[in-house]
Structure 1
Amino acid sequence: MTTLTEQTAELLIAAHAFDPATPGFVGATLDLPVTAAPAQRVPLRHGFLDPRSPHLATVSGPPSPGLAASLARMRDDLAAAQTHCSQSPCSPRAGAGGVRVALEAGLDAAGPLGLAGRWTLAHTLAPVLAAAFANSPLLGGEPSGWRSVRQARHRELPVLPAAADPRRAWASFVLDAAGRDGRTFRERARSGERPRLADLAEHVDALRPPVAARGHLEIDVADRQPGDGWQVVVAVTSVLLDDPRAAAAAAGITAPLAAEPGLWERAARDALTDPVLATAARECFVTAYGALGRRGESRELRDAVAEFTERYVMRGRCPADDVLDRAAARN
């Protein structure tokens, strides 16, 4: 098998970063904390149940033609996954795992549905969504000082990558991200180790940044939500990127955030108690609600988004604040 130089690896990553396509297809992946994950991949009606660790399983749905189809397929698969898990046996553990949303990369063109614009918007929107959906404030059952322990690992990230070209930006991130052994792929290539294509593929698959280029866009910013709150994550994320009018509005709302210092740390620690993030979140969620109505999404889904917006976003709160309130009451 051919070994890779640093330059070859960078070219390969950039070349496979995006498969340009018209936005519209939506996919979702949900982590299910369990007492015992299945030993191997389990086919579900539409997607798959995969073990990620001994105590974490993942339900991944296929790319679906539109939000409604994506949510319906995920509901089917979640019901099947819970049935399988109850036979394992396994049960959810609150406060762990997350919700990832997969969207088309966009077009090789300008405008709100263009690839470059979607890449930029995904990054400026990401900390806003992370703050709104923060829900992992505990470590060992005690408050950690973060509202999202999951997102705290990204606290040193800039809002936007340094490179203007999305393909180059993703390639630079991949090469400079530390792997499981603590070394970057760039360091491995320069050390004389002679990494191979399989090593690069394994490295890319292991990375979990808030925004990833995997042919499509992968948005991994939301913690696991109470009940059916995962549907609000998928709905708000997808409509703010895929609806042209909403995307243009969200870009205007979040563009100034690129200049905010320490925004990822603030999103993970302070969530919507941060006034800058709170203002952006209110405007983005109102924009998302309006877009869902224009697109004819179900009343049930719109009501769920409205309820989340009123309960949390308009009050400068996130689901983690409920967890912290309960922890304070116990003490």
Structure 2
Amino acid sequence: MENSGDRPIAIIGAGLVGMGWAIVFARAGRKVQVHDASADLLADLPDRLETALADLADHGLIGDPAPIAARITIAGSLAEALRGAVYVQESILERVDVKRALYAEMAPLLAPDAHVGSSSSGIPSSEFTAGLSIAPRCLVAHPVNPPYLLSVVELVPAEWTLPEAVDSVHALMQAVGQHPIRIARELRGFVLNRLQGVLPREAWALYEEGYCSLDDIDATISKGLGPRWAFMGPFETIDLNAPGGIADYAHRLGALYRDIAAERSEHAPWSADLIARADAERRASLPLDKLADRCVWRDQRLMAFAAHKKTQPE
């Protein structure tokens, strides 16, 4: 795959994630063929791409959007999208039966050397590729949305995924400007969502127990922990938070975190009443008809931050 830069990339699924992947590959100079079973999603893809690319250009993250858009073509059929493709990024509905049906349909259409990465957020690829002829060439390549602004991609092989498939997808992701993370074996939720899930679990509990409002919990992250986490992970954060580094931090605060964890040894599901109370509080702050506008605001902030990071050393 590393030496196949003239061959197209196929994107199957033209929703938010699929569109994001199309931008990632086209921005890096690759030809992209996009297909979706939904004619409506395909029909409005050019307009959505135009808006996203214009925003990126406005923030100085790309140059002229036109050549990038020109590299992205809409394929009217699955066969057309896969024709000649050296790599396929699947970004369809997060359901095993739907994915399984697609992979079975793709099997006879793929080039013999093509690999397939799934944007699955938590379903291991073994659940929808088992027994298929293409299974050894398939793995999870889970992005953070939108992938053209957030570069991490989790690469998760099934037990039968060929090592060279992982190596090849890893090299491709690096070549197009993403930051691939290798996960040694399958686990539900992978690494990102397992890390991400810990914080909401505690946030829900603190809210349910009446310690803080939603806004104050959010502010604790956005104005406290979040700014550091934007350029450091948890291990580097604690390493820099004690004079003697990570070992000193563990010695000083390990017992505190052990006691905190012990309080949450059993996690109760979010109750319907708790969800309703949280939803009412959020809707008072942000009416539902303004939610899409706030998503645009989020992406604009991410673009501004990405532009800033380009000027800073790692």
TM-score (norm 2): 0.24
Q: Which has more radius of gyration?
A: 2
TM-score (norm 1): 0.23
